[in-house]
Structure 1
Amino acid sequence: MVNRSLAESKFFNPLSSEYELFPRPSAPPSVDLSVVVPSYNEEERLPVMMEEALGFLEDKVTSHPDFTYEVIVVDDGSIDETTNVALKYAKEHTTDKVRVLTLEQNRGKGGAVRMGVLSCRGRRVLMADADGATKFSDVSRLDDKLNSLPDKKGVAIGSRAHLEQEAMAKRNFLRNLISKVFQMLVWMLCVRTIRDTQCGFKLFSRSEALTLFSTLHVERWAFDVELLYLAEQLKIPLIEVAVNWTEIDGSKLVPVFSWIQMGKDILLIRLRYMLGIWTARDAKKIQ
């Protein structure tokens, strides 16, 4: 398992004004669903996402009283008020339902998601972006598809592939070209079974989530590619599910530069696994 510093393994309880320990990854699950929300300088966009997510989850509790959940907001070293915004929800809903994991330094989206997953209590784990670009209620679609897999275990991946033509019509030629080159690199070098690797809306069964994130090396934007590459190598069932998605202003991706960096990371992912510097055998040991 990934080592965590003492500071990173605690969350602040605004009701008691004390810090409490997150459970260890080896602890048995105690809630039905954990929602991990990586957040970097998201004080403006996070409230919209949290209101939608908590509204949906509380409605589900009302209709299914046995259903339990937690939302873990991982503040990835923000320099704004992201943590304080998230703590307001922890105070309103209690830390049994909302917990805030504040990282002292920025680790990248992959690193933030990993820390959240390894701190969660859920039988299933949802990765959801703080911008609220994906309609949160689509988690029901992912859940249904995950239930259709053998032993109800695997990864259900939210996909925007069905919206590709519409998105391309709105972008300029250069962005479309870079996007196509990126997709081609992913298909050629790493992931063959999933068309949209980058959608930030993925649902995992607990054992698969802990296996994959405990082995993950890439901490920035290309982490999704390594995650799904590992899943393919381990023959973890993957299923792609169309979701509703709307582009939200305020993306942390820097056009062109970020895509080039991600392309470089994909090449390095493939190279390091080919040379045995990284190995899927590490994940098999965890399994």
Structure 2
Amino acid sequence: MLSLVLQLAVLGVALAAAALILKQDPTFTYEVIVVDDGSKDQTSKVAFKYCQKYGSDKVRVITLVKNRGKGGAIRMGIFSSRGEKILMADADGATKFPDVEKLEKGLNDLQPWPDQMAIACGSRAHLEKESIAQRSYFRTLLMYGFHFLVWFLCVKGIRDTQCGFKLLTREAASRTFSSLHIERWAFDVELLYIAQFFKIPIAEIAVNWTEIEGSKLVPFWSWLQMGKDLLFIRLRYLTGAWRLEQTRKMN
């Protein structure tokens, strides 16, 4: 079974993609988990309509009373999932759900998986030149500064840590999310830092991506917060304030 964990309730495209895969492979099973991170809009209402339409075995809704941040919301969805493979995705449609087949191929290319653990990360690095041409010099400088800090402090060898399209085996999800501390935007970096610490194989796979208006990231302050989180990640693990230990599998 494939578990798809979404933070927002844009479900139509995800369910259509799942139906398409199901037609091609009758053995394919899936579930979609929507995590409403304390929103004040109609997220839960829309999601529950899909739940009624498709059944709770296909669509489930988790409503958080208090906003916990993207990382905290995804973590709740991960630990509520039942799939052997778990896809985390931003449901704004920036990445295309059919691209999960690319991630699955990247995951399979990593076999044999040590302890059944592997991660395939969607990547927009191949689109970097095009995106730079559309950005201001200031935003480009912030981007390069953030990439340098990620490389210098936390994660080596992954060009795009922040793409919200990642496929994990259940064992890899258990090992990484059980140790996760950061609940805001930089949680992806800590996730991959933990994965590299445990020597979990990681594949970076180019995916289609479209710029979506309405981003919640405010360029300067968001990058500043993320930079601070990167320093905290490095210092807290370095000083032993945070420790990485063997964790139990998810039930």
- Normalised by the size of structure 2, how large is the TM-score? 0.95
The residue type paired with residue 60 of structure 2 is R
The answer to whether the aligner puts 1:63 opposite 2:24 as a matched pair is yes
Counterpart among 87, 93, 114 of residue 126 in structure 1:
87
Does 1:136 pair with 2:97? Answer: yes
Within 5 Å, give how 1:220-231 maps onto structure 2. 220-231=184-195
Q: 1:279 aligned to 2:243?
A: yes
2:55 paired with 1:94: yes
Q: Is the 8 A contact 2:123 2:160 kept in 1?
A: yes
Matched letter for residue 238 of structure 2 = M
Indicate yes or no: 2:207 matched with 1:246: no
Displacement of 1:151 in angstroms is 2.9
Q: Distance in 2 between matches of 1:243 and 1:224?
A: 17
Instruction: Extract structure 1 runs of 4+ deviating beyond 3 A.
Output: none
Amino acid at match of 2:57: D
2:133 is aligned to 169
* Cα distance in structure 2, aligned partners of 1:63 and 1:176: 41
- Counterpart of 1:122 in 2: which secondary structure? coil
**Match status 1:117 vs 2:78:** yes
1:209: how far off? 0.4
SS at match of 1:95: coil
Match of 1:51 among 12, 16, 20: 12
Offset, 1:193: 1.6
Deviates more, 1:104-113 or 1:247-256: 247-256
Task: Indicate whether 1:184 and 2:148 are aligned.
Answer: yes
CA distance in 1, matches of 2:226, 2:25: 41
8 A contact 2:142–2:223 mirrored in 1: yes
For residues 124 and 22 of structure 2, the distance between their equivalents in structure 1, rounded to whole angstroms, comes to: 28
Q: Equivalent residue of 2:219, what SS?
A: coil
Between the aligned partners of 2:178 and 2:38, the Cα distance in structure 1 is 21
Map 1:26-45 → 2, pairs under 5 A? 32-39=1-8
Percent identity for Structure 1 against Structure 2: 57
Q: 1 CA distance for matches of 2:91 and 2:22?
A: 22
Structure 2 equivalent of residue 85 of structure 1: 46
**2:69 matched to which residue of 1?**
108
Answering whether residue 178 of structure 2 is matched by residue 209 of structure 1, we say: no
* Deviations, residues 177-216 of structure 1 (Å, cap 9, x unaligned): 1111000000000000200000000000001101111110
How many pairs does the alignment contain?
Answer: 246
| Aligned Cα root-mean-square deviation (Å) | 1.1
Matches within 5 A, 1:260-271: 260-271=224-235
Look up the match of 1:147: 108
Structure 2: gaps of 5 or more residues: none
Determine if the alignment matches structure 1 residue 232 to structure 2 residue 201: no
DSSP 3-state at the match of 2:75 = helix
